[in-house]
Structure 1
Amino acid sequence: MDQNLLIAIDGPAASGKGTLARRLADYYHLPHLDTGLTYRAVAHRMIEHGLSLDDAEQAADAARKVDLGNLDKGALAAHAVADAASRVAVFPQVRRVLVEKQRAFANQPGGAVLDGRDIGTVVCPNADVKLYITASPEVRAGRRLRDIESRGGSARVEDILADIVKRDERDSARADSPLRPAEDAHLLDTSEMSIEAAFRAARAIIDGVLAKRDTAS
């Protein structure tokens, strides 16, 4: 792109925000960061070293050692890592360290696409476009089950749904950077949308913002 474009995408687990973020980053030729992986990297490091997930200082130290250029999505995909990431994400010390790293990624020349749970509200409050992607817990549980089965795994949809509800409550109730839409975010409920439909809707929003910016300049 010939102009800076910073896109912030937030939403709960399995809402489709990650897939959408990757599609948009590819379409607009922008680097992409799944900020959830940074918290998973902290949790993974702590699990590997036998550290207590309830120790805020050890978690903050692990966060300082996270390399955004070396996030192994495969190793970080395990359910245990995802659950642990939600636990260490409540620590303000961890969030401060990772937010600094995430902002450095966002501020690179040309812009970027970041997705997570506090991008539009905390990490990139001045983003050019903010999207909040959501879907019903039941739809999200079904998506997560299909993803697990596509990778050869198995699970009970009831267990996945209970886990999603628990994570939503934890993420929304935490004192530091709770999950919520930014006041100026565009809301997209993908419960009844295919990924293609969601992609078209997001593109329409972004292109509209770009058109207004071009007109203003």
Structure 2
Amino acid sequence: MTDAVGHPVVTIDGPTASGKGTVASRVAAVLGFHLLDSGALYRLTALASARQGVAADDAESLAGIAATLDIRFTGNDVVLDGCDVSHEIRAEAIGLRASAIAVHGPVRNALFARQRAFREAPGLVADGRDMGTVIFPDARLKVFLTASVEARAARRLKQLSDKGFSANMDDLLKDLRERDARDTARTVAPLKPAADAFLLDTSEMSIETAVDAVIGWYRRSA
């Protein structure tokens, strides 16, 4: 299959803590492609708007912030307004705020072109929630990762603990269920598999196995 426009794209969508970020980064490394962590853009918008005291329901103000973010991705570092915020944007409170502001159409529209601009030679692996359905509908390969909410909560707990954040399993389960409901029910770009996406349940699957599956699908699609 040939991409309709530009360089090849692999999209990896799925709910929070399904493993899409880790799988996407490893697939990008194997293929030698660029990587887009679309969730980071929403987290950056969440962080910047929180710093400015903008309410999570003020769609137009949030969109203005999203459109003018001064951001830079350097390796694993995420820089906002000249400061490294790689650790700060992974806080659970910022993730929850990012999910809340992502329901707004103006915010999603403001970030649309910024996400599309990551499509450069030799190719791109993009992870998020609407990469295959909205941002790159002509992607060469679309993958939708999922996992049970219990497996995802356990992964999220480990991620937060490893980064030095405190967390509670019951709270994480509640937050994930609420986030899933919000992401799938929103009227703009709801979380769902693209019609032509490969589905991959990672509940009891190692990262290595998931990466191998995606690489295999990609090579067979070329």
Per the normalisation by structure 1, the TM-score is: 0.92
Establish whether residue 15 from structure 1 lines up as the match of residue 18 from structure 2: yes
Matched residue of 1:76: which SS?
helix
1:132 match: secondary structure: strand
1:204 aligns with 2:207: no
One-letter code of the match for 1:173?
A
Aligned to 1:102, which of 111, 115, 125?
Answer: 115
For residues 130-176 of structure 1, what are the alpha-carbon distances to aligned partners after superposition, in whole Å with 9 as ceiling and x for unaligned? 00011000100011111122223332211101100000000000000
Q: Which residue of 2 aligns with 1:86?
A: 99
Map 1:30-69 to 2 at 5 A: 30-67=33-70, 69=72
Distance 1:104 1:68, change over 3 A: farther
- Aligned residue for 1:157? 169
Alpha carbon RMSD of aligned pairs, Å?
Answer: 1.4
Give 1:68 shift: 5.1
Shift in Å, 1:4: 3.7
**How many residues of Structure 1 are paired with residues of Structure 2 in the alignment?**
207
Cα offset for 1:75?
A: 2.2
Residue 28 (1) aligns with residue 31 (2): yes
Quote the sequence identity (%). Answer: 44
- Note if 1:169 corresponds to 2:173: no
Work out which of the residue numbers 145, 154, 159 in structure 2 matches 1:142.
Answer: 154
Report Cα offsets for 1:68-120 as digits up to 9, x if no partner: 534343221111111111111111111011011101112x2322111000000
Structure 2: which 5+ residue stretches go unaligned? Answer: 1-5, 79-84
Task: Judge conservation of contact 1:9–1:116 (CA < 8 Å) in 2.
Answer: yes
User: What is the aligned counterpart of 1:190 among 183, 190, 202?
Assistant: 202
Alignment match, 1:118: 130
**Code of the aligned partner of 2:164:** G
Which residue identity is paired with 2:65? A
The CA deviation at 1:65 is: 1.3
Contact kept, 8 Å, 2:28 with 2:34, in 1: the verdict is yes
After TM superposition, give the deviation of residue 198 of structure 1 in Å.
0.9
Mapped contact 2:8–2:123 kept (Cα < 8 A): yes
Secondary structure of the residue that 1:113 maps to in structure 2?
strand
Structure 1 distance, partners of 2:44, 2:165, is 22
Q: Is the 8 A contact 1:56 1:93 kept in 2?
A: yes
Cα offset for 1:67? 4.2
